[in-house]
Structure 1
Amino acid sequence: MSDPGRSSPSPTVEIPASGFRDEKKEVDDSNATADIVVDFDGPNDPLNPRNWNKKKKWTATLVVSAFTFISPISSSMIAPASSQVADSFGVHNDVVIGMFTSIFVLAYAIGPLFLGPLSEIYGRNRIIQGANVWYLAWNTGCAWAQNTGQLLAFRFLAGLGGSAPLAVGGAVIGDIWEAEERGQALAIYALAPLLGPVVGPLAGAFVAEDSTWRWVFWSSSIADVAILALGVLYLRETYPPYLLEKKTNQIRKSLDAEKGPVRNVRSNLANEDRTWSRVIRIALTRPFILLYKEPIIQVLSLYMAYIYGLYYLFLTSMPLMFQGVYGESVGISGLHYLALGVGVLVAAQILGSLTDSVYNKLKAKNNGVTRPEYRVPLLIPGAIALPVGLFITGWTVQAKVHWIVPDIGIALVGGSIILSFQAIQLIVVDMFAFYAASALACVSFLRSIFGFGFPLFAQQMYRKLGYGKGDTILAVIAIVIGCPAPWLLWAYGPQLRARSKFAKQPT
């Protein structure tokens, strides 16, 4: 890293790394000790991730999505087998049984707070792959757990590693795709953290029914090994400041080897924060600063937290619905997760086809000036569909209507959640640019706290209130939080962003 002590008000010479030696010869004597500012080699530099070809961009997007897919599978795959685990360890407390699933999500609240910012120091790729190895080790350890304490501890540690792609993946998408074409890529990526928890219980139900709960962990670890291999083969570094810093270090070493005049070499994207001591201190505290000082982050975090909490409440309560009310077996009740998956998939495809076109039309109407608020209209369908889906699900289960009707409500809930989830991810990535990983860590923190807490009261709520009244309360809260959110962001977003230290301004 460059030493700020060498940064003085001296003239600068901006040159690319690849042509450094020839460019140095062209610098006259008056600039012999000028600063050298290292940038990408023009608008077509292949080192710049934005200049990768479409094949390489989509490969990186799909690999990151695969990393983001396997972790949420692990988060929820144990849900249908929770009763088996409880019997194995002699657990009868509903809260502890709920924690078998949700403690993994609690780790999602903590991991991104340091893994996201650390990716702004060490690069995205190193953090994603290193954390995945950590996840693999502890997830495999869950299969060997001999008591409740070991299982909960191993699940939490596995969740810390599994949170990395959730913290960094969205930032990778922001690194490689332009804003005008980012929507479809992020729509595919955002499927993973919501589709994974659907596939997990569906697979876990049949694994647990035909084998033991320990194979829930063995099978997910085997799948993760394949994804880890894909990452090693195809995932490359994407964070521009890190890439330019590597180029800067190469130039600095070249100058030192030539023993020429002392030159201050720095990256074009470097600033006072890029010294090691400052970067480590600031990057590790930045998510908390954003959460405390940025009203937009607070609003988006609260809204995503609520819908994510609802999502995990549904994941853990669906076996109660269909095993308890409809008397279905573990395996058959797991098939109802397909309704949630259908809603997620259909809504994601609709959003993926619309998000960039809506963004580009609004940009054209504004004389080509981009604004992150152009993603806000995508929140509206989700804000409407969520309470409708909750009303349908709760009252039809309460009346024991044919299972297809609550499945329709469940599909609406899944679709509304993915619409809101993807729109918020896009807004955050567009708005905070180079600080996207830290901003996403803020959003992830609150949503994961809710994802951990909501399943813990699901059983008690439905037992006391029933499914109709319970889901009605959840629907009313969704209306109070969700319906004003798009209007508030559209009306006041530009003003709040203008006062922000970290948010990207219109271009």
Structure 2
Amino acid sequence: MVAPATNQVAAGFGIDNDVIIALTTSIFVLAYAVGPFFLGPMSEIYGRSRVLQLANLWYLAWNLGCGFAQNEAQLLAFRFLAGLGGSAPLSIGGGVLGDCWRAEERGQAVALYSLAPLLGPVIGPITGAWIAERSTWRWVFWSTSIVDAIVQLLGLFFLQETFAPLLLERKANKIRQSMDEEKVPYREVRTIYEGQDRSWQTIMAKSLVRPFALFAREPIVQVLGIYMAYLYGTLYLFLTTIPSIFEGVYGQPVGIAGLHYIALGVGLTGASQINARSLDKVYVYFKNKHGGVGKPEYRLPAMFPGTILLPIGILITGWATQAHAHWIAPDIGIALVGAGVILNFQCIQTYVVDTFTLYAASALAAVSCLRSLAGFGFPLFAPAMYSALGFGKGDTILAAAAIIIGCPAPWLFWHYGERIRNASPYAR
């Protein structure tokens, strides 16, 4: 929501550096690279619901503080701290879905869940543009805080615990409390997840180390992390450059320019709806075709069109803008970018959850690290790149990177994913 209001922020605080202006938006995403490494494992110790709600309260406090910031340093610090709390659903949400649905049912749930953090940056700037035009940038933060407070109240009543080891541990404790400690059955009440050492210090040490171990040792996490980094970076680059395209090149006012985020939303939502309805059907089809045995690789077919749509959309956007074509032309390119991003994003997200079911939160935290660093970094170099090369050549470089990084990915995992998984101590 803050992206269209950055010019107001710059004017209010006297910021004349393009990088600092872009930083007011992207520093929130930098926190996404840090938060999941701790919040994801904590959800595997203290439960999903408790960590989600406490993280949301943290976000609410600092996001509210952003609206009262008195200088650029305060705003950047508060944005980063708010991002730490806001990062919780990125890793924990996938873990919740892994807890609740079987593999053959999980695709649609993950597809709908993964649409939210991508559709939010589409709806947000549209709303933020009109708020910035009709009010002040401070109401961008105050309005989101009001909505988040409502979400928090709903969570207190309806967000239930889903993590199996914790639920079974609570159940075992309840049974033990109803039994005589001196009798043998008391000592035999234990869960399938219990090891020899159940102290919180041991559990905390293992859980906090796990995302870093996954990131360092798992080729699946490394490769998918690199590609998701490019996808997320490209998405945030487009989020921050749409105002410069339609305000700078086409000369539209802030509110009207903000409406072009709808094009990105059309691509994200349209492709997501199609993929949500087909993801489980494709999985079941390949499962039945191969003797009733399901594999995470059966989540990947939608990545093939996704890796093609993305560079095509980038090229259309860049050269249509460079040629000052009718505004509908770059909108078509932006919609194709949205479709390519969401198809790849959903397939990767579901693949990771299927592969690391019990440790899905830690695996998603590891994958999210590079992704969030790219979401932070891409918008920072975008103004200099487009200023030096123009939109046509600049987007041609992005499209070439999408082809080189993205196109081999689904093919490699389709043929070699199972071999890589079998060598993993964490994969299901």
The alignment's TM-score, normalised by the length of structure 1, stands at: 0.83
- TM alignment of 1:343-492, pairs within 5 A: 343-492=267-416
Q: CA deviation at 1:274?
A: 4.5
- The 5 Å alignment of 1:62-461 reads 77-255=1-179, 257-261=180-184, 263-272=187-196, 274-461=198-385
Give the distance between the partners of 2:128 and 2:194, measured in 1 at CA: 47
**Secondary structure in structure 1 of the residue aligned to 2:173:** helix
1-side partners of 2:141 and 2:405: how far apart? 37
Q: After TM superposition, give the deviation of residue 253 of structure 1 in Å.
A: 2.9
Aligned length in residues: 427
Amino acid at match of 2:383: Q
Preserved contact between residue 273 and residue 282 of structure 1 (Cα < 8 Å): no
Aligned-partner Cα distance in 1 for 2:386–2:195: 54
1-side partners of 2:199 and 2:335: how far apart? 49
Looking at structure 2, the residues matched to 240 and 303 of structure 1 have their Cα atoms a distance apart, in angstroms, of 31
For residues 398-455 of structure 1, give each alpha carbon's deviation from its aligned partner in whole angstroms, at most 9, with x where no partner exists: 0000000110000000011010110000000000010000000011111000000000
Deviation at 1:252, TM superposition (A): 3.0
Judge conservation of contact 1:109–1:448 (CA < 8 Å) in 2. Answer: yes
Q: In structure 2, what is the Cα distance between the partners aligned to 1:364 and 1:87? A: 61
Could you say what secondary structure the match of 1:224 adopts? helix
CA separation in 2, counterparts of 1:341 and 1:88?
30
Cα distance change, pair 369–273 in 1 and its aligned pair in 2 (3 A): farther
Give, in whole Å, the separation in 2 of the partners of 1:335 and 1:89: 26
Letter in 1 for 2:183: G
* Equivalent residue letter for 2:137: W
Q: CA deviation at 1:273?
A: 6.8
Inter-partner Cα distance in structure 2 for 1:130 and 1:209:
33
Instruction: Report what 1:495 is aligned to.
Output: 419
Q: CA deviation at 1:272?
A: 4.8
The C-alpha deviation readout for 1:141-176, integer Å capped at 9, x for no partner, is 000000111100110110000001111001111111
Separation in 2 of the partners of 1:263 and 1:356? 42
Q: In structure 2, how many angstroms separate the alpha carbons of the residues matched to 1:273 and 1:371?
A: 33
Q: Distance in 2 between matches of 1:326 and 1:478?
A: 27
Residue type at the aligned position of 2:2:
I
TM-score norm. by structure 2 comes to 0.98
Work out which of the two has the higher radius of gyration on C-alpha atoms and give 1 or 2: 1
* 3-state DSSP of counterpart to 1:377: coil
Relative distance call for 1:135 and 1:323 in structure 2 (3 A) is same
Mapped contact 1:79–1:316 kept (Cα < 8 A) = yes
Give the 5 Å matches for 1:38-49.
none
- 1:200-219: CA deviation from partner (whole Å, max 9, x where unpaired): 11100000100000000010
Cα separation, 1, equivalents of 2:355 and 2:425: 11
Moved more, 152-161 or 264-273: 264-273
Amino acid at match of 2:219: P
C-alpha separation in 1, matches of 2:367 and 2:120: 19
Q: State the distance in 2 between where 1:466 and 1:452 align.
A: 22
Answer with 226-235 or 462-471: which moved more. Answer: 226-235
After superposition, the CA RMSD in angstroms is 1.1
Does the CA contact (< 8 Å) of 1:379 and 1:419 recur in 2?
yes
Alignment of 1:5-44 (within 5 A): none
Query: Quick one: distance in 2 between partners of 1:123 and 1:204?
Result: 34
* Overall identity of the aligned pairs, in %: 62
| Misfit runs of 4+, over 6 Å | none
SS at structure 2 position matched to 1:184? helix
* 1: CA distance, partners of 2:367 / 2:127: 29
Unaligned runs of 5+ in 1: 1-76
